[in-house]
Amino acid sequence: MPGSLEALPFRGELTRDEPMRLHTTLRVGGPAEYFLRAEGEEDVLLAIRACRELEMPLLFLGRGSNLVVRDGGIEGLTVYLGEGFGRMRVEGERIYAQAGARLQALSRLALENGLAGLEFAEGIPGALGGALLMNAGAYGGEMSQVVESLRVADREGNVHELSCEEAAFSYRHSRMMEENSCVLSAVLRLSHGDKAQIGALMEDYARRRREKQPLQYPSCGSFFKRPEGHFAGKLIEDAGLKGRRVGDMEVSTLHAGFLINRGHASAKDVLTLMQQVQAEVYERFGVHLEPEARIVGHDA
């Protein structure tokens, strides 16, 4: 193994000090020490093996829709599974897709082919890999309901195929998250349906999002997990925290479950506001709000 990442034959582009605010939907975060735009599974496996050999931290990144990067940035190598890792195709009732495929693109592909089951993914801004890692969902649907099988790479650089059952999905959790493995691709099993009905349901979900969510501002979507027996947004609203601001970060006045960036927020602003919300909700209701967003990197 060569002694540096620059010496490796990656197909994708490897850069230094990539600003992570450009790669997260919250638009905050310091630089990634090394940043690789993966162009295929070979890049992913080479990255895993190289980082093990070089004893270098490794982070996999999709669309950054559920990620807070601290202001000091990320040490080691960040591997972006994006445009070069987003191929997808339909065969019968199945969609075969790489981890970088956008959920919105997958739901539209399903619609075009008269396939039902992915309507809930309309409007979710993430990519397939991250959505599978955390079993993303909305409007009563979640990824575990449509996954037939997955290809994942473990931290040794070995590739495994998992069934839906073997992936051990639960609420915003999976075996892949537990083992810190990387989703490479998946087979989604849908069912034939009426195009008009599928399209109408997707439009209904999109309308609800436009009306009830602050989509015009950068955010991570719903910032906190749903506590058992409660809704995070309602607890935050009932604690009187709508509109609470730290710097340019704000608890949305439209949907209290969203923490929004109103301009030039820092990650420190995000985390300070998060901690204030957690503390006040716990003080009022005795409920601990756990962030759904993943927090990585180091402080400035």
How many Cβ atoms are within 10 Å of 225's Cβ, its own excluded? 16
d(CA 135, CA 142): 6
The one catalytic residue in 65, 107, 185, 222 is 222
Find how far residue 11's CA is from the centre of its chain. 24
Active-site annotation holds for 144: no
- Cα distance between residue 160 and residue 151, in whole Å: 6
Q: Distance between CA atoms of 259 and 173, rounded to whole angstroms?
A: 22
CB–CB of 89/188 below 8 Å? no
Q: What angle do CA 41, 46, 52 make, to 5 degrees?
A: 130
Active-site residue flag, 292: yes
- 222 as an active site residue: the answer is yes
Catalytic residue among 21, 70, 172, 244: 172
Query: Residue 191: left (phi > 0), alpha (psi -120 to 50), or beta?
Result: beta
Structure token pair of residue 92: 């019968």
Active site residues: 172, 222, 292
